[in-house]
Amino acid sequence: MDYKKEFVQFMVRSGVLTFGDFVTKSGRNTPYFVNTGNYKTGLQAAKLGKFYADCIHEHMKENRISTDVKALFGPAYKGIPLAVSTSIALATEYGMDINYCFNRKEVKDHGEGGKMVGYRLNDGDKILITEDVITAGTAVREVMPQLKAAADVQVEGMIISVDRMERGRGEKTAVQEVEEEFGLKVYSIVTVREVIDMLHNVPVDGRVYIDDEMKAKMEAYLEQYCVK
């Protein structure tokens, strides 16, 4: 089983990928929801970091991401454990000892001060951003100026868990908008289309989460809000 399929099943088992009737922050009625805040155990964190590391390693092998990445940057707050767990997995699974760092929401006014924690960024460093999902690109727009203020870094790309493939502020997806606005590539472990393909009438621990009815609801949602 490849890591993408394992990741989809992992999200289901962790209660992160759920199906039913939900309302997104943007007010859209959606038949599925991804809540990465439901990861809560050490084992889950270890497995999650491994999936992110698998994604990074795959794109490095295909020469899409440079092997000279100096650090992983995790935007506060959900990106922080992602950067740490991914850094650990890259070291233990692939022998790549890559630094990690993250930002504070507020500037620290004592001790070493500043907004950045962990590796101190330097001019010319190539970095990857680790994030959970992109809904409207708000987090990216907040942290990019902070990164550039810390050092003249080169952002190699952003790794996210699921690309919902939904429109952002215009007619393009939020991922496409981020890529165009900041000139960085976004790599997702899986897309919502892959989720449907991997789970449609395929049981996870004896239960089918995407049957024909749920697939029809998800396809209708994609038709209304997503970019093909």
Concerning whether 108 is annotated as a catalytic residue, the answer is: yes
* 192 and 158 Cβ atoms separated by less than 8 Å: no
User: Would you say 94 and 43 are in contact if contact means Cβ atoms under 8 Å apart?
Assistant: no
Residue with tokens 């029809």: 216
- Please report how the helices 3-13 and 42-61 are oriented relative to each other, as an axis angle in degrees rounded to 10: 160
22 beta partners: 30
Instruction: Number of helices (H) and strands (E) in the chain: give both, helices first.
Output: 7, 10
182, 190, 195, 175: which is closest to 55 by C-alpha?
Answer: 190
| 159 Rama class: left (phi>0) / alpha (psi -120 to 50) / beta | beta
Per the structure block, which two tokens stand in for 213? 């009815």
E strand map for 120-196: 126-130, 154-163, 186-191
The CA distance from 65 to 186, in Å, is 11
C-alpha–C-alpha distance, residues 131 and 54, integer Å: 15
Choose the catalytic residue: 5, 108, 126, 172: 108
Q: Which of 40, 105, 110, 228 is catalytic?
A: 110
Catalytic residue annotation: 108, 110
